[in-house]
Structure 1
């Protein structure tokens, strides 16, 4: 199969879909790989790194789309790419269709085959291609939240870990999934007091077992959330519902109950966000303030640490890329039920029920 690796053009998206090691494996399986010039540069990989393992370099994104039978990307295609996607072309990337009707409509119109990283499942029902980026985003949420709590950026002026004689900051984490657990681990490591909330008691038991004693668990409901937002300095949203929009757990009226300078980090922004006042931002302009509350809602947080993220992503996507390239998408999906769950749109038809429910 002819596989294309375009350069990501979404604002400040520095990742690339495959490392040279990943391309090496594809070439070893006798596939042809075209890489757009400079695609790996921001992740620390030169064009020579790719040609050394057997890829060919093409100058433009148009050439990559024109030649490839399968496009492997990191982020969803943006408007400039819609017209480049051909009928029957496989596009394997993060799509997050639930949060974008124009993207959904464009992919239906293109009659391409859209396989979404974020809905591929493994035999345990978990999301293996979302996991490493959730791990990165969960850890970054605390790193960024700690920075935006600083006064020059209109935060409360709190050092999360505190110092001797001064209480540490308080972090409230909504969701005890991958994002929540990684965020709790980082916040706890800094010495902050952490409250993590979820409706899944099994997850709360797990967190209780593995985390130090200054990480406390609490059942998530509106009453408890409203009680905690008044006293916590950094609030991290890490809610995920497979393929669907996240519920709004922090509503607009709740901002008035928070202390000015509180920081909200909504990691669920890709799926529409779990806070009513969430709107996607970029690494170029990451924050905005509503009612004196700092919002950090960057839709591609792992793009800021592309070297780590690209390697972590290739580690999990490569086996699926090779599988599709070796067998074709239909046979690959037929043989692998988890990969089949990743099939969102095929030849102009929406085949993933959560997208159908969110489409209007």
Structure 2
């Protein structure tokens, strides 16, 4: 198969979808790999390293899309890429269709085969291609939250861990999944008082067992959240419904209950956000303020630490990408249910229920494709 790796062009997206080590693996299996020039530069990989691994370097993104049977990316195609996508071309990347109606319609119109990292799912319901970036984003959420809590950045002016004789900050984490767990561990490690809320009592029991003494667990419901936001200095949103729009757990009216200078970090922004007042921001302009509350809603947080993120992501995606290249997407998805669950839009049809529900589009059962 002919594999194409374009340079990411989303605002301040510095990751790359394939490392030179990944190129070597594709070449060992007899595949041809084309990489756009400087695609890996921001992640620490030179064109020379890709060439030595067996890739061919192409000058433009148009050339990469034009020649490839499978495009491997990190983030969803943006508008300037739509016209480059060919009928039946396989795109393997993060899509997050439920947060973007224009992207959904564009991929339907291009009749592409869209296999989304975020909905590839194991039998235990874990999301193997979302986990590594959720780990990065969860840890980053605390770093960024701590930074924007500083007074010159618009925050309340509180140190997460406090000092002797001064109480630490209160951190509220919405969701006890990968993002929430990593956020809580980081915040607790810095000395903050942390509260995690989740709707699963079993998950809360598990977190209660593994977390340090400065982490409390509380059942997630509207009443409890309204009470907790009153004393929170930093709120981290990490709720997820795979492939579907995130629920709004923090409503607009709750902002009036918060202290001025409270910081909210919405890690769920890729799936529409879990705060009613969330709107996607970029690393270039990461924050905005509503009712005195600072919102950080960067949609590609791990792009700020591309070396770590690229290695973490490609460690997870490469085995799946090799299956797709070795067998072709139809055979690979037919034989591997994990990959089959990653199919979202195929040749003009929406085959993932969460996407059809999000935009009220006709749904086709993925089994009809095989």
Q: TM-score, normalised by structure 1?
A: 0.99
1:108 corresponding residue in structure 2: 108
1:139 aligned counterpart, secondary structure:
helix
CA displacement at 1:123 relative to structure 2: 2.3
Q: Quote the Cα distance in structure 2 between the aligned partners of 1:157 and 1:359.
A: 41
1:68-117 C-alpha deviation (Å, 9 max, x unpaired): 00000000000000000000100000000001110000000001100000
1:248-263 correspondence runs (5 A): 248-263=248-263
Alignment correspondent of 2:189: 189
Give the aligned partner of residue 134 of structure 1.
134
Counterpart of 1:244? Answer: 244
| Structure 2 residue matching 1:115: 3-state secondary structure | strand
In structure 2, what is the Cα distance between the partners aligned to 1:238 and 1:129?
16
Q: SS of 1:52's equivalent?
A: helix
Structure 2: unaligned runs, 5 residues or longer: 361-370
- 66-75 or 121-130: bigger deviation: 121-130
**What is the Cα deviation at residue 253 of structure 1?**
0.6
Q: Does residue 1:165 correspond to 2:170, yes or no? A: no
Aligned to 1:42: 42
Cα drift, residue 28 of structure 1: 0.9
- Counterpart in 1 of 2:368? none
SS of 2:53's equivalent in the other structure is: coil
* Alignment of structure 1 residues 272-351 onto 2, 5 Å: 272-351=272-351
Could you tell me which runs of 5 or more consecutive residues in structure 1 were left unpaired when the two chains were aligned.
none
Task: Give the alignment's Cα RMSD to 1 decimal.
Answer: 0.5
Alpha-carbon shift at residue 248 of structure 1 (Å) = 0.4
Give the Cα separation in 1 of the matches to 2:279 and 2:354: 22
Residue 14 of structure 1 corresponds to 14
Q: Partners of 2:231 and 2:140 in 1: how far apart?
A: 22
1:60 is the counterpart of 2:87: no
Kindly indicate whether residue 74 of structure 2 is the aligned counterpart of residue 74 of structure 1: yes
Aligned to 1:267: 267
Could you tell me how far apart the structure 2 residues matched to 1:79 and 1:115 are? 18
**1:30 alignment partner in structure 2:** 30
Segment drifting more, 117-126 vs 262-271 = 117-126
The residue aligned with 1:4 is: 4
Partner of 1:99: 99
Alignment partners' CA distance in 2, 1:35 and 1:269: 29
Inter-partner Cα distance in structure 1 for 2:205 and 2:339:
30
Equivalent pairs, count: 360
State whether structure 2 residue 343 is matched by structure 1 residue 354: no
Distance in 1 (alpha carbons) for counterparts of 2:293 and 2:61: 40
Task: Give secondary structure in 2 for the equivalent of 1:188.
Answer: helix
Shift of 1:206: 1.0
Cross-structure match for 1:175? 175
Distance, in Å, in 1 between the alignment partners of 2:319 and 2:235 is 36
C-alpha distance in structure 1 between counterparts of 2:351 and 2:182, whole Å = 32
The superposition leaves residues 254-303 of structure 1 with CA deviations (integer Å, 9 ceiling, x where unpaired) of 11110000000000000000000000000000000011100000000000
Structure 1 segments, 4+ long, off by >6 Å, are none
Alignment match, 1:144: 144
